[in-house]
Structure 1
């Protein structure tokens, strides 16, 4: 009847491959483990080129809590932030109000 549906999947410790699943640690191109390391990881904690986990660390991070060069999370720390709460407000402080162009400086006489 339903003997195959009632079996629970066992969580492996480590899974390595192109798209590894069902492991605590997954390493691969597109891993889906709890802790994922790879090019496009989708784990709870994701580390890689384009991570998409709850906690994401990588080049283009897309998690709730993101760190990287380009971040798109709820709370993020990165060089280019596209998030609601930015953890590095130094970019705002570095902008100087005197950098606007004066129209009298560039007029031809």
Structure 2
């Protein structure tokens, strides 16, 4: 049995979400949000929102130049949380309708490919 982790050690509670939500690129994260179920979004949000301040402190203290693969995944996970927070906190029951509309508003460019 492997004990390899995808995220920094102190963020083990978020490991179940790393594969599905630690995605590179705004367009990919937006697509994941749009293709996810309400239950998937709510579970990820509930697990990650409380970890956001600690994750940002951790990443800020380390700095981009020192990121390893696990740090990069943690950053992408928190960026996905931004997408999901809009759905959970703002769109709520209207997320399905908004997801349909977003399909016509493709993300083609973001700063630094974030």
TM-score, normalization by structure 1: 0.21
More strand by share: 1
More helix by share: 2
Structure with higher Rg: it is 1
